[in-house]
Amino acid sequence: MEISGDIKFFKDCYSIYIKSLASIVMSDLHLGYEGVAAKNGIFLPKLNLKYIFEQIESIANNVGKSKIRRIIVVGDVKNEFDDVDDSEIDELFSFVNYLRNELFDKDLEIILIKGNHDNYVDAYAKELKLTLYRQEAMLAKYLFFHGEEMPTRELLNKANFLITAHEHPAITVFTEIGTRMKVKCFLYGIHEKKEVLVLPALCYYASGTEINLIPKEELLSPFLKSIDVDELIPISVEGDILVFPKIKDLRI
C-alpha cells in the first residue's frame, strides 16, 4: 500500500519506506528496554532488538537493498528518560554496526531526530557517525519531528508533509463476539492542507495509546492536541494492511 505516491507500508512492519528519499523511517525503538526493565526488577526476554532487525530486513527484501540509502529514526532510539544505561548504548552500537556492516553498507546514512528519551546520545553520535538533529529535520517536502515539542512555525510553513511520533498510536476494536483487541497503527490525515502521518512505536514492548478511547486532552503529543485527531485515519499493518474509518467513527 502507498500514500501520496511516495510512502509505502508493509504487512507486519511498523516502519515506512519513502521512495523519493530512499529512506526507511521508524520511531520509538527504545533500545535497551529489557536491560532497563531488569534493573527495575522486571525480567523480560530480549526480543526487541531482534524484532527491529527483522522488520528492517523485511522492508529491505521488499524494496531492494540498493534502494535504501538512509535510515531515519524519528526519536526515542533509547529507552531511559533522564539517564543512560549500558544496555542502551550496547544495543545502539549493535544497531548501527548491523545496519552498516551486515545488512547494508558502510555508506548508509543514519539520521536521528532526538526524542525526549534521547538524552546523552550526543556523546556517541560522532563516534557512530550519526546525523543528529535536536528536535526536527526538513528533508525535501517532509518535516520530521518526534513530537514532545511543537515544531517551529517556520518549518511548519515550509513543509508539505509532516511525520511525527511520540504518541505510540493504537486503536481498540471489538470483534463480533465482543472480544476487545488493541492494535498498533499509523495515523494519517490532512491538517491545514498538509499531509500528516503519525508513526507507531517500533519497540516490541510498546503496545500504544488507545487513540479512539481517550479524550484529546489526555494525549501526550502537543501537536496531536493542536489538530482534530478525530479526523485522522488509522492504518493497521498487523497480519494485513487495513485502512480503518476515521477515529471519530471508532470512538465508543
H/E run at residue 3? strand 2-3
Contact 111, 21 (CB under 8 A): no
Burial 102-113 (b: 16+ CB within 10 A, else e): eebeeebebbbb
Segment-wise mean pLDDT, segments of 10 residues, the chain, 252 residues: 95 98 97 92 96 97 97 87 79 96 96 85 90 95 94 94 97 83 96 96 95 94 95 96 96 85
Burial 28-56 (b: 16+ CB within 10 A, else e): bbbbbbbbbeeeeeeeeeeebbeebbebb
For 42, the grid coordinates are 522486571
Contact 222, 149 (CB under 8 A): yes
Domains of the chain in start order, with CATH, are 2-250 (3.60.21)
Neighbours of 242 (CB within 10 A): 14
Return d(Cα 196, Cα 231) in angstroms, integer: 11
What is the reported pLDDT for 79?
65
Q: What letter would DSSP give residue 103? A: I
Partners of residue 188 on adjacent β-strands:
197, 233
Type of residue found at 82: D
Type of residue found at 225: K
What is the reported pLDDT for 81?
61
3-class state of residue 99 by DSSP: helix
Return d(Cα 42, Cα 63) in angstroms, integer: 38
92-133 pLDDT, tens digit per residue, is 999 999 999 999 999 999 999 998 777 778 888 889 999 999
DSSP strand pairing (136-139 vs 131-133): unpaired
For 168, the grid coordinates are 505510540
What is the reported pLDDT for 82?
66
| Among candidate residues 136, 134, 129, 138, the one with its CA nearest the CA of residue 119 | 134
For 38, the grid coordinates are 531488569
